[in-house]
Amino acid sequence: MTRLPRDLTGESLSKALSRLGYAPTRQTGSHIRLTTRERGEHHVTVPRHDPLRVGTLGGILGEVAAHFEASRDDIIGRLFG
């Protein structure tokens, strides 16, 4: 299992997710909603915290992995590898 980055901000994660086709669709307070239309429409909400908590990051990456029918390690490699 690949270790999650410990110093990642919400902004950095949003930029990394753009590699998978995610783009901001709205922002409410300190949370950004990102949407992709690749492999069907999918939304994730990313808090603009600095840094993101490891559990929050793991949950978001798990949702993205489930949408793309990939392992979480594969998604981590595609985003940060």
Number of domain units in the chain = 1
Q: What is the pTM of this model?
A: 0.93
Residue 4 lies in a domain: no
Give the CA distances from residue 34 to residues 31, 41, 73, in Å, rounded to whole numbers and listed in that order: 10, 10, 21
Q: What domain range includes position 76?
A: 13-80
Has residue 29 got a pLDDT over 90? yes
**For residues 66-72, average pLDDT:** 96
- Per the domain annotation, does 2 fall within a domain? no
Full strand arrangement of the beta sheet holding 23-28: 23-28, 31-36, 42-47
CA 79 from chain centre, in angstroms, equals 9
- pLDDT for 3 equals 84
**Model confidence band, residue 53 (pLDDT cutoffs 50, 70, 90):** very high
Asked whether residue 7 is assigned to any structural domain, the reply reads no
In a domain, 63, yes or no: yes
> What's 42's domain CATH number?
3.30.920.30
pLDDT bracket for residue 68 (50, 70, 90): very high
pLDDT tier, 1 (very low <50, low <70, confident <90, very high otherwise): confident
